[in-house]
Amino acid sequence: MDQVRNPLAGIDDPTAHQLRLLLTLAEELHFGRAASKLHLTQPALSQQIRSLEDRLGVELFHRTSRRVELTAAGQAVLVAARNVVDAADYLRNIVRRIASGSERLRLGVCESFAAVPPARGVIAALTDSNPVPGPDVRVLDRLTDLLSALESGEIDAAFTHLPVPEHLHSEPLSIEPRVVCVSSDDPLASRTSVRLADLADHRVISLVPPTFRAGHDFWAASPRPDGTPVRYAAHQGSSFQSVLSTVSLGGVIVFVPAVTASLYPRPDLHYLHVEDLTECTFGVVWNPRNPALAKINALRAGVSSYRARSSNEYISNSRLAG
């Protein structure tokens, strides 16, 4: 019969270290092998197990000169011991990730639009609410890089112009016109605005590859209102700047957010208002399958804070204007 001790005899809860020793001994059922595996001396292991038994008030092992066996109480304790050890390991890993910065919200933004006010505003709101360590902002070259980083888990969320693939969640932040960028040598550059029909003879670079059809069509303004087929330009540039440089050489155009005109003013380029082209939306997107719920909740809070701040600034400016 298992020896049962006074359950009030222990004055302290067992430590995770002692429970880890228990699990190892239960696996080896040999003090010598278990001690070697744990890098302890056999007397030290025996003392720790005896201390654990005293704390729990039960005998965990039958010991003889020839064998070691778990008692019924020992068998019953194993599952709980494993849960405690696993929880201790989980806690340790969380602390290590926080210390290494991996618990920071990782935000991606295209190099071409890192200066867009909504992106800077949300980042500022996140930094104000959690200045240490604050968000980890990673600047990437293209929308496709952002989407790939989201899918792989390299980043938690991204600032980008919509549309994005349907399985991603998006929070719109601002709306602006789309304009067309043409070479300064193009005959259209002398005009202040055009219609899509005026661009029918121009080849178009879409900012999104054809693998994402909805985005590819949107940034090529396809289909056209009059049914004219879009003529695509083959461009494999690795950056937004390379797209603009290709356009500057003539014969090729690209539709871009209106903010591009102020971010990339170049003497070899001209930006034109397109009268019959719909607007575009800038927002923040993330994968709803992201398991880091705390990070996404922090992002949502940052977006809400930015929206409230922007609304207050709009109200204040309106009052000043009045």
The C-alpha angle 28, 30, 32, rounded to 5 degrees, equals 115
Task: Tell me the Cα Rg of the chain.
Answer: 32
Nearest-angstrom CA–CA distance, 1 and 58: 12
- Mean pLDDT for the stretch of residues 171-197: 96
Location of structure tokens 């992002």: 299
Residue 3: pLDDT over 90: no
Instruction: Give dist(CA 144, CA 239) in Å, integer.
Output: 11
234 CB-near residues (< 8 Å, 6+ apart):
none
Q: For 149-160, how does the pLDDT look when each residue is reduced to its tens digit (9 = 90+)?
A: 888 888 999 999
Q: Which of 136, 160, 132 is nearest to 148 (CA)?
A: 160
State which amino acid sits at residue 142. Answer: R
Closest by alpha carbon to 137, among 152, 148, 127?
Answer: 127
Rounded to an integer, the average pLDDT of 183-192 is 95
Assess whether pLDDT exceeds 70 at residue 182: yes
Model pTM score: 0.65
Tell whether the model's pLDDT for residue 310 goes beyond 90. no
pLDDT of res. 238 = 65
Mean pLDDT of all residues in the chain? 84
According to DSSP, the β-strands at 280-286 and 157-161 are antiparallel
What is the mean predicted confidence (pLDDT) over 114-141? 82
pLDDT given at position 322: 42
Indicate whether 316 pLDDT > 50: no
Percent of the chain with pLDDT over 70: 86
